[in-house]
Amino acid sequence: MTTAPPARRPWKRAAAWLVLLGPLFYATYGFANWWATTRANVPSMAFEWERHVPFWPWTIFPYWTINAFYALSLFLARSKHALDRHALRLLTATIVACTCFVLWPLHFSFGQPPVDGAPAFLFNALRGFDQPFNQAPSLHIALAVILWDWYRQFLKPLWARLVLHVWAFAICASVLTTWQHHFIDIPTGALLGIFCVWLWPLERVVAMPRAWRTTRDPQRWKLAGFYAVGAALFLAAALYGGGIALWLAWPAASLALVALNYAGFGARGFQMDGHGRMAWAARWMLAPYRLGAAINAWLWTRSLPASVEIVPGLRLGRRPTRAEWLAAGRPRLVSLCAELQLPAGVPHARCVPILDLTVPPTVRLQRAAAVIEGQRRNAGGATVWVCCALGFSRSAAAVIAWLGRYGAAGGVAQAEDTVRRARPQIVLRDAWRVSLEPFEPLQEVPPHDR
């Protein structure tokens, strides 16, 4: 039996990307620097404690290594798909950062002391094209995050990954110890890098720009507006309060992304996989929102049982903790939650993500019912636990859909009564019932009609 030859790396395409990205970086970065020099007053944003950060000239060496790792990264791609997504991350970071530098120029407020010896050459080379502007978000940090995520896919041994983590940390710390950036530039640069990783996933899934579908659902637009207002309020509080209040820009960005998910990206924007685990970039981007969603779920369900039995072998409830999952006898989980992960290390879990407080199309409920049926058939006698954040709407509708299609409920109305008797707190608006209308028991076709 012959095996197919390994796919050739896209060397020429990588070289073409480098030819584009290199000059573009220097052109846009240089323009932003020049633009800042033409402004009469360029502000600075620094904390008083930053004056105590030591100046370590030798850290210019890890600072400069990012250039070599940047160029090399393009030639490590094993496929055109991965190469293009990685290059688009680098391109997006450059364009967004330089746009910020032009719209909101900042400068580094204390000058660097004289440097002697070997580091002096690298500092002089850096000053040849870099001025004390182009601060927030730090493009250096954004690129370090993107490159860290890129290189870790090639490193399997633990020691190699530790080296990568140390290198990435050294890169990020060096922007402070070389007195190139103020602290505010680091979290904003990291947020930009994480955003680029979220925007262009390396996996063979639809990238976020192509995932956009403007919705006509008024409920989704209402929720998008609600989260957009929340984002604006957090951002205003961050800018007005200054200092430590600037951290409120993180929940502002998180809520803004949630608003975009409701407006067009849909559940895909949360990047939840089929096993109920969220991509790392989405976890960090959405961390403030996810914390709020988890607290809200706890407040609503803290006095309720984690799950209730609907029919033998099928339970309905909130998203369980690992302790609750273990206490329930390690059931097979089916999650309808787009915004909250299932516990780590739970085998055979499945997820059909649906946006909270929205009614999905019938086809999505058909998918959820089919997944529940598949879990039951493969459970080997184990219980199946269907859940969402609260266990009130999305998961309840999925169980009703399963009962109406596969169970012995006798139709959707009787299925809803069955679920409501077990869990009276379920909330199903009229729109849910419209989406559930097509679900009726599958009729066995008589042999003579087949």
Answer for the pair 404, 439: CB distance below 8 angstroms, yes or no: yes
Burial class (CB in 10 A: 0-12, 13-18, 19+), 89: buried
CA distance 450 to 414: 29
Evaluate the CA torsion angle 370, 376, 378, 384 in order and state its sign: positive
Which structure tokens are listed for 221?
Answer: 């637009």
CA distance 448 to 450: 6
Going from the C-alpha of 167 to that of each of 63, 146, 163, 386, the distances in angstroms are 10, 13, 6, 43
Which structure tokens are listed for 23?
Answer: 């000059």
Peptide bond into 137 cis (omega under 30): yes
CA distance 430 to 386: 22
Q: Smallest Cα–Cα separation from 136: which of 110, 112, 108, 111?
A: 108
CA distance 193 to 172: 12
CA distance 447 to 15: 64
Half-sphere exposure of 314 (CA within 13 A, CB side): 24
CA distance 318 to 328: 13
Give the residue numbers marked as catalytic: 388
Q: What is the DSSP string of 338-349?
A: SSSPPPTT-TT-
Half-sphere exposure of 44 (CA within 13 A, CB side): 15
Cα 326–chain centre separation? 28
Going from the C-alpha of 119 to that of each of 64, 292, 399, the distances in angstroms are 11, 47, 66
* Residue whose tokens read 């637009």: 221
